[in-house]
Amino acid sequence: MRSFKSLSGVAAGVLLAMAGGAQAATTPAQFTVTANVAANCLVSTTNMNFGIFNGVGNLTGTADINVRCTDNVGYTVALDVGTGGGNIATGRLLDGPGAETLTYNLYSDPAHTIIWGSALADRVPGTGTGLALANEFTHQVHGQLLAAGNEGAAVGAYTSTIGVTVEY
């Protein structure tokens, strides 16, 4: 009787080994991962303060336009005439008390020879190097308020808000 039990145990082992040896079928597949980088620019500014005007001395001031753009994206920075009005070519205006104004202008160079405006020829160009803060480029705006033409200004605070447009 013992030999019969041994034979049935061996048969069960062989059947289990055969069942465990069966291979599952596989079919490979692939998928593609993509991303598109869009052109983008970020801009921030600082204010310009000419200080106290006494009617006899010229004043100068600076403001910064900080630009970060996607790598290799070309851009231009345009400045509008401002809320005070005037004319970019002949002088922007600071609004003061009543109908009083002060004439000034904004330039892309510290010598005050290249007026910074909104026409394509008056814009300042740049090329982005990436959107990280370390890639920020500072464009300095140079302002000049001449005594000549502003001698009759009334006492008070004068202001204008300049629109900055970064086109890319």
More confident residue, 33 or 24: 33
Sequence ranges of the domains in the chain:
41-167
The pLDDT tens digits of the residues spanning 75-128 come to 999 999 999 999 999 999 999 999 999 999 999 999 999 999 999 999 999 999
**pTM of the complete model beyond 0.85:** no
For residue 102 the two structure tokens come to: 């002060």
Average pLDDT score, the chain: 91
Percent of the residues in the chain that have a pLDDT greater than 70, as a whole number:
87
- The two three-digit tokens of residue 19, written as one number: 């069942």
What pLDDT score was predicted for residue 23?
82
Q: What pLDDT digit, counting tens, does each position of 53-71 carry?
A: 999 999 999 999 999 999 9
Q: Identify the pLDDT of residue 4.
A: 47
Distance CA 7, CA 9 (A): 5
Q: Which of 143, 135, 154 is nearest to 115 (CA)?
A: 143
Q: Outline where DSSP puts E strands in 7-163.
A: 41-45, 59-69, 74-79, 86-87, 91-95, 101-107, 124-127, 137-145
CATH class of 41-167: mainly beta
